[in-house]
Chain A
Amino acid sequence: NAGVTQTPKFRVLKTGQSMTLLCAQDMNHEYMYWYRQDPGMGLRLIHYSVGEGTTAKGEVPDGYNVSRLKKQNFLLGLESAAPSQTSVYFCASSPLGDYFSYEQYFGPGTRLTVT
């Protein structure tokens, strides 16, 4: 199993450009998440999905959109990139289960720079 994979690994955008980050998981997990990680801020949840066709806002959703058309894929879109969106983006997934025991599994990250 590849686990959670992210595409691309690195990207540089100019202000105002758009792009889509792809997350794929092969563990048949119901839940998927997008986080951003910034120095001194820790990981913050952008959007998440509790199943195919569903999405929900996290802590910092502004400027991002997501889609979950297939259970194994979760896409994060930036319609008009801004320098404040320079960050490392992580995707994660977790199985449907009881709240006491479920774990999140993370991808390797995408390093995005907006100039």
Chain B
Amino acid sequence: KQEVTQIPAALSVPEGENLVLNCSFTDSAIYNLQWFRQDPGKGLTSLLLIQSSQREQTSGRLNASLDKSSGRSTLYIAASQPGDSATYLCAVPSPYNTDKLIFGTGTRLQVFP
């Protein structure tokens, strides 16, 4: 059974710091890994999707890497801003039914001025 873990559960940093959020998964037979952002009381917004053949994807100040063999992905946020404060979730398709996503429980990030 695929399990997805995110550490830390919460993170509070001053503005301007570079951050690394971690996501690990137990079954490396994945087609892709998706990172989402969720603002309080809101839905999920897709940030980046890394296909299994890719090592990383970049969007603005965000960079996500994927190491299938070790079952890990990291989301790097450069020069953090208060507007980055949100919960960040990673998700992978189930190995047995790729129509289903398995989510981690998220990292709640607070960036203070």
Q: Mark A80-114, 1 if CB is under 8 A from B, else 0.
A: 00000000001010000001110111111101000
The reply to whether B53 and A100 form a contact with Cβ atoms under 8 Å apart is yes
Q: Is B10 an interface residue (CB 8 A)?
A: no
Interface string of A13-56 (1 = CB under 8 A from B): 00000000000000000010000000011110100101000001
Which residues of chain A are within 8 angstroms of B31 by Cβ–Cβ distance?
99-100
Q: A77 at the A/B interface (Cβ < 8 Å)?
A: no
Determine if A58 is an interface residue (Cβ-Cβ < 8 Å): yes
Find the residue from A43, A56, A59, A107 having the highest chain B CB count within 10 A: A43
Which of B41, B46, B91 is A105 in contact with, Cβ under 8 Å? B46
Q: Which residue of B lies closest to A41 (CB)?
A: B105
- Distance in angstroms from B34 CB to nearest chain A CB is 6
Binding site for B on A (CB under 8 A): 4, 31, 40-43, 45, 48, 50, 56, 58-59, 90, 92, 99-101, 103-109, 111
Contact residues of B with A, CB < 8 Å? 31-32, 34, 36, 41-46, 49, 51-53, 89, 91, 93, 98-101, 103-106
